[in-house]
Amino acid sequence: MATVAFIGLGNMGGPMAANLVKAGMTVTGFDLNPAALKALTDIGGLSANTACGAAAAADIVITMLPAGKHVRSLYIGNNDQKGILDVVGKDTLLIDCSTIDADSARTVAAAAADKGLEFIDAPVSGGTAGAAAGTLTFICGGSDKAFEQAKTVLDVMGANIFHAGGAGAGQIAKICNNMLLSVLMVGTSEALSMGIDNGLDPKVLSDIMKVSSGGNWTLDKYNPCPGVMDAVPSSKGYQGGFMVDLMVKDLGLAMDAALSSQSSTPMGALARSLYVSHAKGGTKPGENGKRDFSSIFEQFAVPAND
Ligand code: NAD
């Protein structure tokens, strides 16, 4: 069975790596956060002191990091510091599951190709629940050969594995999806809040809209109104899940892509503005940025003045 290096064991990477351990794979992890690393070793994973230390002996390297700058520096390295591309064996497959800009994904893929290595971008959809359940959707960009190889390990963590195209295509498809998700989350929040303001029970309204023409993923799986659904971030003080700061990052990536392709994205632009101003708020400045993205509901749920 393949040995895997897993770097970035946060809200998503932690449960994804756990599923590989459960499947019997040897998983060596690394994260800057010792608590995240301990969670992996507690369930039978191994730990390394550095990302390169984890990657050096692996057949497959998987990264799940916040943004493009982390992915670029870990794979390519800096002037005085080696990157993962400098230490892995010639047959090692490199899979980045982070959501990052397509240019960074293409840059790392080109640097890998220069060394005869295969790199694919494989961002995911499905949230922390999908990561824990092993039902993520992987959206891959890279060569046919690398995609076929990657499927064997991605299958363990996901239910749907797509090949969107060449290097960077996975990231473009992913930000199209997340731009739509942000619009759906904002729209669902304002519809639920208007219903509440007009005396409706949000559970009843959600049940109605779920099977009506306004039905969407946020109503089915991720209701933003506290108390409507169990075990979603809105019913846990908007903790865990997908941070507002990460949604702001993804919407920035979407706007960059729209600018370069001269696409018209008015709904995505508005959703980005709403998320940027939401991120700045909270009981202390910037606190909302660390909360789940469904907390945008609070922007609409303030009781109206008499
Ligand atoms: P997170 O902040 O919970 O996890 C990121 C982890 O990376 C942290 O544990 C951090 O310590 C670690 N890290 C950062 N820099 C590092 C470095 N140089 N070396 C080693 N470890 C490092 O974030 P997350 O929610 O797990 O998201 C990770 C990626 O997945 C992001 O790109 C995000 O956009 C994407 N994503 C998240 C969700 C979600 O629901 N949370 C869903 C889909 C995609």
Residue 198 belongs to some domain of the structure: yes
Q: What is the pLDDT of residues 52-85, one digit of tens each?
A: 999 999 999 999 999 999 999 999 998 889 999 9
Query: How many Å apart are CA 62 and CA 55, to the nearest integer?
Result: 9
The CATH number of the domain holding residue 263 is 1.10.1040.10
Mean of pLDDT values over 204-212:
98
User: CB count, 10 Å around CB of 201?
Assistant: 11
Residues 223 and 244 in one domain: yes
For residue 188, give both structure tokens. Answer: 């669902």
Q: How far is CA 1 from the centre of its chain?
A: 26
- The domain total for the chain is 2
ipTM above 0.90, yes or no: yes
Q: CA-CA distances (angstroms) from residue 63 to 12, 88, 297?
A: 11, 14, 31
Enclosing domain of residue 105: 3-166
pLDDT band, very low/low/confident/very high, at 202 (cuts 50, 70, 90): very high
Give pLDDT, residue 130.
94
Q: Of all atoms in ligand 1, which is nearest to the CA of residue 246? A: 34
Q: Is 174 a catalytic residue?
A: yes
pLDDT band, very low/low/confident/very high, at 1 (cuts 50, 70, 90): confident
Q: How far is the CA of 212 from the centre of ligand 1 (A)?
A: 35
User: CB count, 10 Å around CB of 174?
Assistant: 27
Give pLDDT, residue 304.
53
Give pLDDT, residue 112.
98
101 lines ligand 1 (CB under 6 A): no
More confident residue, 267 or 306: 267
Given a cut of 90, whether residue 196 has pLDDT beyond it is yes
Residues 11 and 110 in one domain: yes
The pTM of this model reads 0.92
Q: What is the pLDDT of residues 130-143, one digit of tens each?
A: 999 999 999 999 99
Last residue of a domain, which of 166, 192, 226? 166
Q: Could you identify the residue written with the tokens 């029970």?
A: 201
Residues 155 and 204 in one domain: no
Residues 12 and 157 in one domain: yes
Q: What is the pLDDT of residues 12-65, one digit of tens each?
A: 999 999 999 999 999 999 999 999 999 999 999 999 999 999 999 999 999 999
Identify whether the C-beta of residue 256 lies closer than 8 Å to the C-beta of residue 249. no
Handedness of CA 210, 215, 216, 219 (dihedral sign): negative
Mean of pLDDT values over 106-120:
98
Residue 304 belongs to some domain of the structure: no
Last residue of a domain, which of 166, 197, 226? 166
Question: pLDDT averaged over the chain?
Answer: 96
More confident residue, 282 or 202: 202
Q: Of all atoms in ligand 1, which is nearest to the CA of residue 73? A: 18
Lowest mean pLDDT among 228-232, 280-284, 288-292, 302-306: 302-306
Residues 93 and 211 in one domain: no
Q: How far is CA 75 from the centre of its chain?
A: 19
99 lines ligand 1 (CB under 6 A): yes
How many CA atoms lie within 13 Å of 142's alpha carbon, on the beta-carbon side? 31
pLDDT band, very low/low/confident/very high, at 303 (cuts 50, 70, 90): low
Last residue of a domain, which of 131, 166, 201? 166
- Which residues of 53-180 form beta strands (DSSP E)? 60-63, 93-96, 118-121, 124-125, 136-141, 158-165
Given a cut of 90, whether residue 305 has pLDDT beyond it is no
Q: CA-CA distances (angstroms) from residue 76 to 65, 96, 273?
A: 15, 13, 33
**DSSP 8-state secondary structure symbol assigned to residue 253:** H
Given a cut of 60, whether residue 99 has pLDDT beyond it is yes
Contacts of 11 (CB under 8 A, 6+ apart): 128, 131, 240, 241, 242, 243
Name the residue with the closest Cα to ligand 1, atom 34: 99
Name the residue with the closest Cα to ligand 1, atom 5: 10
User: CB count, 10 Å around CB of 221?
Assistant: 13
Residue from 9, 12, 16 to probe ligand 1 pocket by mutation (most atoms less than 8 Å from CB):
12
Mean of pLDDT values over 157-185:
98
Query: How many Å apart are CA 273 and CA 76, to the nearest integer?
Result: 33
Mean of pLDDT values over 275-296:
95
Residue 138 belongs to some domain of the structure: yes
Identify whether the C-beta of residue 244 lies closer than 8 Å to the C-beta of residue 295. yes
Query: How many Å apart are CA 265 and CA 90, to the nearest integer?
Result: 42
Residues 197 and 114 in one domain: no
- Residue of 128, 138, 5, 19 lying closest to 62 (CA atoms): 5
Mean of pLDDT values over 262-268:
98
Given a cut of 60, whether residue 194 has pLDDT beyond it is yes
Residues 112 and 34 in one domain: yes
Mean of pLDDT values over 120-133:
94
Residue 211 belongs to some domain of the structure: yes
Contacts of 173 (CB under 8 A, 6+ apart): 139, 141, 162, 164
Q: Of all atoms in ligand 1, which is nearest to the CA of residue 99? A: 32
Residues 40 and 148 in one domain: yes
